[in-house]
């Protein structure tokens, strides 16, 4: 598997999943633009990748809630990279995002938080794909990878959360479900020049409190939570020619969670 010469734009590039995607692609020879709201973290992550291979990463600061800023960031990345072959969208408001009316009990979740989450998690994916389409179509290997979740497939098992301070955010699940239908629409619309697929991770271990973690692991066929490392192969596969006949596909990386 070789991505030498390929150019990728990764949203949420300073975050856990986005950085795992960047590592996977740069390890295979690609150059990446890391797009993130956090300027300092974005620059730090790019520097880390460049220590591994000089010139492999550049930071692009962007607020995905702002349409014009997002479009400008895509154009900036394409100009800096000299084109675009891969677009990976992993940025999202998640359960730990600190936003009033977001990660709170259902009756306290606000319309304002819902709108903000949908804007970043789903609407920005539409904007990114629209703005990047021409550059991706000019590539002989155009690939869009959208990061969804098992909660874009199934409802939350609320028994896992009993006795914890963790909340299930309805806008998160709705936005991730929306990514699946966006992927299907774009896969048919952008074919044959651009492939469009989704990765749906299961729960990723990030120090979640007991008893959530033990309950989650007991319910998972592979008996553990996932790691960012588990996702790197999925990104590499969907970005490379190994998946040249794969589009409109949802790749579940969930330890069997949705197989029950």
Has residue 72 got a pLDDT over 90? yes
Measured in whole angstroms, the distance separating CA 152 from the mean position of its chain's CA atoms is: 13
Dihedral sign computed on CA atoms, order 119, 124, 130, 131: positive
pLDDT in tens, 110-131: 999 999 999 999 999 999 999 9
CB 237 within 8 Å of CB 243: yes
The pLDDT, as a whole number, for residue 168 is 85
Superfamily of domain 7-259: NAD(P)-binding Rossmann-like Domain (3.40.50.720)
The pLDDT, as a whole number, for residue 179 is 98
Cα end-to-end span (Å), the chain: 33
The Cα 57–Cα 23 span in angstroms is: 10
Confidence of residue 96 (pLDDT cuts 50, 70, 90): confident
Domain positions in the chain are 7-259
Core vs surface per residue 215-247: b (16+ CB within 10 A) or e: bbeebbeeeebbebebbbebbbbbbbeebeeeb
The pLDDT, as a whole number, for residue 165 is 81
Q: Cite the active site residues.
A: 172
Confidence of residue 76 (pLDDT cuts 50, 70, 90): very high
The pLDDT, as a whole number, for residue 248 is 98
Q: pTM of this prediction?
A: 0.96
């Amino acid at each position: 598997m070789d991505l030498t010469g390929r150019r990728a734009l990764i949203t949420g590039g300073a975050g856990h999943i986005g950085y795992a995607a960047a590592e996977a692609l740069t390890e295979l020879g690609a150059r990446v633009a890391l797009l993130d709201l956090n300027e300092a973290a974005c620059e730090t992550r790019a520097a880390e990748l460049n220590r591994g291979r000089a010139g492999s990463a550049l930071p692009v600061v962007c607020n995905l809630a702002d349409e014009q800023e997002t479009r400008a960031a895509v154009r900036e990345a394409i100009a800096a990279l000299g084109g675009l072959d891969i677009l990976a969208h992993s940025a999202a408001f998640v359960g730990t995002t600190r936003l009033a009316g977001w990660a709170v009990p259902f009756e306290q979740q606000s319309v304002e938080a819902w709108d903000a989450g949908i804007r970043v998690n789903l609407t920005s994916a539409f904007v990114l794909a629209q703005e990047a389409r021409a550059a991706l179509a000019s590539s002989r290997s155009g690939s869009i990878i959208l990061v969804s979740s098992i909660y874009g497939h199934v409802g939350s098992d609320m028994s896992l959360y009993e006795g914890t301070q963790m909340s299930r955010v309805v806008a998160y699940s709705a936005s991730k479900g929306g990514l699946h239908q966006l992927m299907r629409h774009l896969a048919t619309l952008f074919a044959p020049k651009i492939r469009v697929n989704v990765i749906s991770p299961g729960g990723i271990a990030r120090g979640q409190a007991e008893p959530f973690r033990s309950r989650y692991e007991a319910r998972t066929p592979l008996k553990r939570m996932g790691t960012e490392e588990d996702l790197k192969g999925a990104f590499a596969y969907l970005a490379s020619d190994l998946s040249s006949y794969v589009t409109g596909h949802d790749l579940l990386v969930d330890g069997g969670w949705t197989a029950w």
